Chains A and B, each alone.
Chain A
């Protein structure tokens, strides 16, 4: 056995001076650094007083006065769990072997100890210690990357003194599979009244991708601060990745970067989105109407030419947009809900709980979510989270059961409620949608009905709007008992059912909009 220059010291512990001397000679003959201790207490003193990685293996006799071998092993596990310990036993002490292995001993040595047996045990022990320390080092480096990612996490600075039409708020949730992830988000608010949010997703989700993501996060943040435009930043990232692809060897698959750049102009009420391979951005206005900004280009790092994937739209106050990495959509499919329901559940969870929530569900990719909402300056209106949105054609009544199934799955998941708690809500929504399709849209495929569901967390209230593009209708008055002698048409009974089950019902716009509100019970 040849010691490496960095070979750590072998600590030998035995109360028998002769045995200790023999062991010492054997280790020294192998040209390994060695330290001897005459009992367990002395061994502990040596370990506590040494630099952290000085010792690489402890070989201790089991039967010693004072602290025996097992107790010494316990103390070493408390002081330095990475330090491998081997216990030497005689035939009579065989029953201690299994217990010492359970306690974390790497191996045991049978007395009398042979030279070959000793050196083989030292190799096993030092290899074990090095593996453990390497693992701990990797975990520490990963934690450092995670710390950098958290430090770079977006914090929109407070609005400056300049008067603005709009103000905004950014909420993020990150659920990396490992401590650090390949997803990142960064945001910057400029003095000119714009807010730039960038969400990036480096391909893969290992430690390397965590480092690369932290690099890009810093690069994007730096370029934003220097006033670079989103397309300039995208070009720089693309060039960097293309160089990596050109220089990569056959054993390493280079990374690509999906990124979406959202610029909100608070003065002009305008939103610009540049999307390079991220899921399409969805915008919700105050009434719950949803718009998908679907134009996008390929991920960064694939091609020299970056085809423009720009979306620019005027936005109204009290709106919000969602950005998420593809891990969110994948996990939504895995648990059988829509991405919006998953996003709502994430937003309703505390940031520090988000990862554990998904870990329990077996998430397979990093998940990152950012929600940017904007509102007139100086207002503090309650934040209504969109939970569900669906548009139906007027002739889609046969698919009402499927819609109800999707709604039930999404609401129970997003709001962490049982289906029983939501029964009245689900039934009323069904009736309202049936009314909209049958009577508002008259069953015509050229007419549409929209179902929009919001959740106001502070009030524990679910707001539902069913809006159709039809001619509307005059809602019947509320009556105490359904008229059983009449024809019992669907519309009258459906409305009575809604009146009875929903605490707040409001028809608007000539009956084309039905607004329902339900309070959730305190959990």
Chain B
């Protein structure tokens, strides 16, 4: 995973799938970057490389959402692959991450 600050936005680029087998590592990286870039006012997670996000991957995104709310940061997900976007929509999570819902709940 790659983290970089653009203006006041902290951009996370996820390197691959978000799965139960790698969420612990990704979460640690996310928290480290959040602590390092305290001047950020918003967080953007680029999911273009994630073909699959499983339930633990979703839990990770939700925990990041909570963490951002706690730090008063706006969180957005960008460029999800269609199946991941559909999954977030199915679970009524798309709008929480700043994405349009693909299907009716």
Contacts and interface: CB of A to CB of B under 8 A. Distances in A.
Contacts of A65: none
A427 B90 contact: no
B15 to A, nearest CB: 14
A430 B93 contact: no
A47 interface: no
A400 B87 contact: no
Interface stretch (A113-121, A137-145, A148-156, A476-484): A476-484
12 contacts: A400-B20, A420-B83, A431-B54, A431-B55, A488-B59, A490-B20, A490-B56, A493-B58, A493-B59, A494-B55, A497-B91, A500-B91
A494 B91 CA distance: 11
B21 interface: yes
A481 B58 contact: no
Contacts of A397: 20
Interface of A: 397-398, 400-401, 419-420, 423-424, 426-427, 430-431, 434, 480-482, 484, 488, 490, 493-494, 496-497, 500-501
Contact of A490 (B52, B55, B91): B55
A403 to B, nearest CB: 11
Most buried by B among A398, A400, A427, A480: A427
A21 B97 CA distance: 96
Q: Which of A398, A400, A423 has the most CB of B within 10 A?
A: A423
Interface string B33-74: 000000000000000000110111011001101100000000
A132 to B, nearest CB: 54
Contact of B87 (A430, A480, A501): A501
Given A490-B20, A497-B87, A480 B66 contact: no
A401 B19 contact: yes
Contacts of B19: 400-401, 430
B91 to A, nearest CB: 6
B4 interface: no
Given A434-B20, A497-B58, 4 more contacts: A434-B54, A481-B105, A493-B58, A497-B90
Nearest to A401: B21
B102 to A, nearest CB: 13
B92 interface: yes
Contacts of B82: 420
Nearest to B90: A500
Nearest to B92: A481
Given A434-B20, A488-B63, A490-B59, A427 B54 contact: yes
B105 A400 contact: no
A497 B55 contact: yes
Closest 3 pairs between A and B when the two form their complex, measured CB to CB: A494-B55, A500-B90, A423-B83
A434 B19 CA distance: 11
Given A480-B92, A482-B93, A497-B91, A427 B52 contact: yes
A423 B81 CA distance: 11
A46 to B, nearest CB: 69
Contacts of B63: 488
